[in-house]
A and B are shown apart, each in its own frame.
Chain A
Amino acid sequence: MKKTLTVNLGGTVFHIDEDAYQLLDKYLSNLRIHFRKEEGSDEIMNDFEIRISELLHERIKLGYEVISLEQVEEVIKRMGKPEEIFGDSFQEEEKEEYQEKTETVYTKRRLFRNPDDRILGGVAGGLAAYLGWDPTAIRLGLILLMIFWGVIIPVYFVLWLIIPMAHTATEKLQMRGEKVTVENIGKTVTDGFERVSNNVNDYISSGKPRSTLQKLGDAFVSIFGVLVKVVGILFAVVLLPPVLLILFVLLVVLFAVVVGLLGGGIGLLGGGMGILEELSPWGGGWGLVPHFSEGALIGSTIGTILVIGIPVVSLLYLIGGQLFKWKPMPSQGKWILLVIWVIALAATIVIATHYGLPAWNIMNGWHWGMMPI
């Protein structure tokens, strides 16, 4: 008696023996790895699946209800093993790639958190893989350090936050300092009960069963995650009103400036200024406004809003991204924001030193002069 699986291959449903499934799955994964750099690799894989499905379908028509190991072997023989398909040119290519890799990647070991050997965040497992030490020894060491030297505890959480998890087969190999070759990727994938999806760099989930200790760790992790989310929401709620206010004022300014530029809107501009004066560090009822030229006032206000607003909005976006799975900001966007922020900061500093300080001095002098002593 054998266990069978139901698979969808090229749009047709098949019942397939477990061992036959494993062989076929391995074969397709192997091909996928070999084709990964080819343009249209998805289409090629699809062609393979459809053809295999056709060949198996013929067997079904002959009255075989379940696909067995022999049938899969026959199909593979007909389709050809990767080395037969790619022949010598493929081996040469691999050799070249290998030499390239040995020059650049071989010695480069990277620090990752280890998803296959973790109790909490995989920090100790990752360190162990990185240093080539025994993970249990590292865990014991960490616990001892935590007991005698409490500073280690936040350090651990910071490491957890900073060090990325090794998600892909490539990253796992880099974590252990092994060569990133097709053979090694294949090994990682078959070693860890894992599947390669379309691309080697896609996410690979580990299907290894978890031990009791690791389950305990998982529970702790999920509780901690919920706490972080709650704190995040509170933080967002506290930060939201000022950000909305800044956005509102920014809108008013834009409106006022546009109207002002169009001419005849001086009254509105003044109204906008009134609100801005309250917010600008050189305004706020200190009576500085008369000492500023109109341009400097607008410049300093917009500058201040940008200098404060960009980090706050980015922070909120980051929190929102964590909480609600928003798409991360595209990197060009980040760079543009950074450039705008630096320009705004520079402009604000220039305006502040050119206008703000003299005005402040004049005003203070004026105040002192008015003192009734």
Chain B
Amino acid sequence: MNAENVKSQMRKGILEYCILLLLKKEPAYTSDIIQKLQEAKLIVVEGTLYPLLTRLKNSELLAYQWIESTQGPPRKYYRLTEKGELFLGELESSWQELNDTINHITNN
């Protein structure tokens, strides 16, 4: 049992939640999502994200469209679906619960 391992497990646990949160604010290109997550130190390597986005898309929580780019090939532009918003709602309340649990434990 080492701290790094637990920390990475925690980060991994909230990764989907964070992606949905990001996309709730505004639709974004894959590269934008990567950049924001890296700034937040949630992911280290980009490769982690592609399977995750595909999984979320296959569960119909996200959808994308191809946007033409002036430089290079067209890019995927992701947005949250209605189903994704409902899902995010559930995650938000669950996050609140977790938060309360931690607060409760620390304060008592």
Chain A residues with CB under 8 Å of chain B are 10-12, 31, 35, 38-40, 43-44, 47-48, 50-51, 53-54, 57, 61, 77-82, 84-85, 87-88
B45 and A80 form a contact (CB under 8 A): yes
- Cβ of B50 within 8 Å of any chain A Cβ, yes or no, is yes
CB contacts (< 8 Å) of A40 on chain B: these are: 54-55, 57-58
CB contacts (< 8 Å) of B55 on chain A: these are: 38-40
CA distance A79 to B43 in the complex (A): 11
Interface residues of B in 39-96 (CB under 8 A from A): 44-48, 50-51, 53-55, 57-58, 71-73, 75-76
Contacts across chains A and B counted by CB atoms under 8 Å = 66
A79 and B73 form a contact (CB under 8 A): no
A50 and B58 form a contact (CB under 8 A): no
- Cβ of B99 within 8 Å of any chain A Cβ, yes or no, is no
CA distance A51 to B69 in the complex (A): 13
A12 and B73 form a contact (CB under 8 A): yes
A84 and B47 form a contact (CB under 8 A): yes
A57 and B50 form a contact (CB under 8 A): no
Interface residues of B in 1-48 (CB under 8 A from A): 5, 8, 12, 30-31, 44-48
Known: A78-B45, A78-B46. A35 touches B51 (CB 8 A): yes
Known: A12-B73, A57-B72, A88-B5. A48 touches B50 (CB 8 A): yes
CB contacts (< 8 Å) of B71 on chain A: these are: 57, 61
CA distance A84 to B43 in the complex (A): 10
5 contacts between A and B (CB under 8 A): A35-B51, A53-B72, A54-B73, A79-B45, A84-B45
A87 and B8 form a contact (CB under 8 A): yes
CA distance A28 to B48 in the complex (A): 14
CB contacts (< 8 Å) of B76 on chain A: these are: 47
* Across the A-B interface, the 9 shortest Cβ-Cβ residue pairs: A80-B45, A80-B47, A85-B47, A47-B50, A11-B73, A79-B47, A40-B54, A57-B72, A44-B54
Chain A residue at smallest Cβ distance from B43: A80
B75 and A85 form a contact (CB under 8 A): no
Chain B residue at smallest Cβ distance from A87: B8
CA distance A78 to B34 in the complex (A): 11
CA distance A81 to B44 in the complex (A): 11
A84 and B44 form a contact (CB under 8 A): yes
Nearest-CB distance from B66 to chain A (Å)? 10
CA distance A6 to B55 in the complex (A): 32
CB contacts (< 8 Å) of A48 on chain B: these are: 47, 50
Known: A78-B46, A79-B46, A84-B45. A53 touches B73 (CB 8 A): yes
CB contacts (< 8 Å) of A57 on chain B: these are: 71-72
Known: A11-B73, A35-B51, A47-B54. A87 touches B12 (CB 8 A): yes
B45 and A50 form a contact (CB under 8 A): no
CB contacts (< 8 Å) of B48 on chain A: these are: 80, 84-85
